[in-house]
A and B are shown apart, each in its own frame.
Chain A
């Protein structure tokens, strides 16, 4: 158990809908990262928040957004969903936010299925 929690575990929805994925980091960690894992693209970094502020952005679509709240939990919002958004979404957390040496601890993921 990494200490990172993600809810829900599974989510099934229809095209055009909007969903929210939730992540609670390990106690004491200030950074939260979101990743998308799909069969064709592999594990892709989406976005990072550090202590409530956006720190880095990766291959995140404009239909997707995220935020980190004062209690440091984070939410990833996916809107106007398409079939291709079906994937496993991981959250990870780390103690700090600007060093390549930070170890990222991953949650169990949320499996999103768009029908």
Chain B
């Protein structure tokens, strides 16, 4: 069965600094990969997704992620963090033929002034 690991439970970044959130997956074939963001009291919003092709994908709000098959990783990046980016971020994996997603435990991003 597939699994997702987000090694960092919390990360604090200064406003304006760059951000990288880590995500590692375990799955035998090429997975479908997603990053979602959850703001306090809100549902999950899709930031970006990777299915195939270019391994660097662009998402909303200035986020991007890179799929690295050799490292089984799909790390999320942003060059300059804004205070409004403070939220919880979830990496998820889907597999071909199934719509269900397996989520990581999430990384809480705190943004300091």
Contacts and interface: CB of A to CB of B under 8 A. Distances in A.
Partners in one complex: yes
Interface of A: 2, 4, 31, 33, 42-45, 48, 50, 55-56, 58, 90, 92, 94, 96-109
Contacts of B41: 108
Given A48-B99, A100-B51, 9 more contacts: A42-B103, A48-B100, A55-B99, A90-B43, A94-B99, A96-B99, A97-B99, A108-B41, A109-B43
Interface stretch (B13-21, B61-69, B71-79, B88-96): B88-96
B31 to A, nearest CB: 8
B105 interface: yes
Given A101-B51, A103-B49, A108 B99 contact: no
B97 A99 contact: yes
Nearest to A43: B103
